[in-house]
Structure 1
Amino acid sequence: MIYKVRTIDKAGKSKKYKIEAESIEDLKLILKMKDLELVKVLDQISPKKDFYKRNLYKDQDLAIVFEQLALMVKQNVTLQRAFSVIAKQSKGRKKDKLNKLVLDLEKGYSLRESLERNTIFPKFASNLIYLGEETAEPGRIFEELAQYYRQKAYFENKFKAALAYPIILLFVSVFVTEFLIIYILPSFSEMLKDMGADLPLSTQILLHIAEFLNTYNIYILAGFLFLILLIYLLSMTKKFRFKMDKFIFSFKLAKRNFYYRFSKGMALALESGLTLQRGLAVCEPIYANTFIAEKTKELANKLKEGISLSESMEELGIFSDILVAMVKSGEEASGLAEVLKEVSKHYLEELELERQRFTALIEPALILIMALLVGFIVISIAMPMFDIINRV
């Protein structure tokens, strides 16, 4: 239930808040954590399902939170106290969620139960935290999760930075091209016609494009928006999502990203004491790909049949030969977790190299395309002018 309340702080100032709580008693405890006193409950609202709900934390923030939790737990700080410290330095929705988690821990709920009641961390992280609680090693799990999310955030930030310049350049190219075709070229063409110049084929083609854009601009925009909406609605269906995810997986970068996540996630799971089958189930949320999720379920079924992990991976056909070979050597040496950890480092380096190659190729390619487009337009304008000069 969401409570709309009037409160008073220590300084005597009255403020209104909207706070989610299970009962009035819980509400009072949450307000107490914020050093507020309940004056009056103004309204009670049933929470609506949030269809556009995003993760509470970004990967970079998760790394920091898990680092802090690992440090405190290793210093024998209780989980309740550790989460309370994190809550105090948080703001907004994060603070509210963490306060509710601390409240549940105070009531005697286990960490697993508290996290299930309050969706704070991604499913993969929560699954490993549950395991840390069961094995009485939450500090090590927090440390491993901090390292995982730090590496994940580093690569994703680097990739976004690499995409930023090409995307800006692409938008500038489209804007400049459209501006020249729609506004500049028609003015020049009218002037050249009045001067008796013969318009070459390239200029005539551009004029027809300009006329088409001017006439159907609204329809083109509406069609583009409709296409985006259609793709979005189709992506909500399982069949289309599966086909799209399968198509995405055909790219080299997507495959290497999967190999990294698989090896890193499984290394974490196995080091935490999970079986191979349980590890596959725990790691499934980190892939964010329905095609891969389906394949990992097939992998788990093969393991149930008694087939080794390396043989199962080879039969599925989605894993690289190097990864299969390394897993096989890890199985033979009884050091699968350590081998997978080393493999994850290898694929992280490969992802970085792929990012650098992508940046090195896309930037000059877009510059060349922009130069050709603008050059073609300029030549189409200049040719009739040279024709007039030659006549004079």
Structure 2
Amino acid sequence: MTEQFSVNRELFDHVMVPNYSPSAVIPVRGKGSRVWDQNNNELIDFAGGIAVSCLGHCHPALVEALKTQGEKLWHLSNVMTNEPALRLAKKLVDNTFAEKVYFANSGAESNEAAFKLARRWALDVYGEHKSQIISFKQGFHGRTFFTVTVGGQEAYSDGFGPKPGDIEHAEYNNLESLEALISDNTCAVVMEPLQGEGGIVSPTQEFAEGVRALCDKHNALLIFDEVQTGVGRTGELYAYMGLGVTPDIMTTAKALGGGFPVGAMLTTNDIAKHLKIGTHGSTYGGNPLACAVAEAAFDTVNDPATLQGVKAKEAMFKQALAAVNEKYNVFKEIRGKGLLIGAVLNDDYQGRSKDFLNAAMKHGLMTLVAGASIIRFTPSLVIPDADILEGMNRFEKAVDAIVNG
């Protein structure tokens, strides 16, 4: 006889490793930008699974792609290739600077591949001395031991023993700090073209162009981590396009699959040739199911109307947040680009972003944080205007509860 048990938040504490502390709310279904929990309470989704659900929940194009591919072919080893992977790679190459694609399952794995490729390229072309990787404080590049060490938040990488070496961290938006570290021993500089986890920080134009120039001067590769900013999030297909600064290697994941796990590393022919047969691999990378869904997501987002819509919705979000702030005076700044928006709490509410997130949840709205003092919004790129207005109405009630609670 099958044992009977309740599937609830308490079960998490019994069966799951305690590295997460999830909400008591357990969503069971979603449609568009709305989600329903076990008790059929409705929530508006301004979180998008952390910038992943770029077309909301159960978008017809993604559902159709998954069903169709699900009845054809699920998995092959990389001893063979497959049609969905080839189609997706062709579209990525045709629509970006890149000439070659490597598929992985996540942003961290895509970054791991990028960092390994940069080291291998430098070794082959220049020799063993050229191994330094420079990234930026507060940057985030994943949770594998290599990527979390390249990331600029020591709290995430401390406590696991000796770290991978020859990694340095400069200050974002500070060219002088990069200039002080970079040399002909640097193989790569890694940056987000808009810092996500680190606080929704946009680069200045001067900084972005200056990083590119310093890389060129020292024969170092420029790696753009577009895991959070890519596939329409900033209102461009990729954020580098809006900056007019082209990287040598770019990584993409999150929105690429619209909710299905997939990632990719993109680069040029000249650099790609250094990942020779056997130097790197992934069991599931290029999986037919993942690539079929990602192709549908990519096609849907890579449309002038969708990308223009992101910029229009950004304006709606920022106006609504400004109106809330006019009334309650809780933010010192609203920043970000496209639908990657950060509301920075002022001195009176420092360290309380989690309180706002919890209050929003009580009022039927899913939001995010980016650090202790920033509320982050990364909704669907096609969220209906009516859902933005209703969600902001709920957010205002949450703010009121904290200010006057």
After TM superposition, the score normalised by the length of structure 2 is 0.24
Determine which structure has greater relative contact order: mean sequence separation of CA pairs < 8 Å that are 6+ residues apart, divided by chain length. Answer: 2
After TM superposition, the score normalised by the length of structure 1 is 0.25
Q: Which has the larger radius of gyration?
A: 1
Task: Judging by fraction of residues, say which structure has more helix.
Answer: 1
Task: Judging by fraction of residues, say which structure has more strand.
Answer: 2
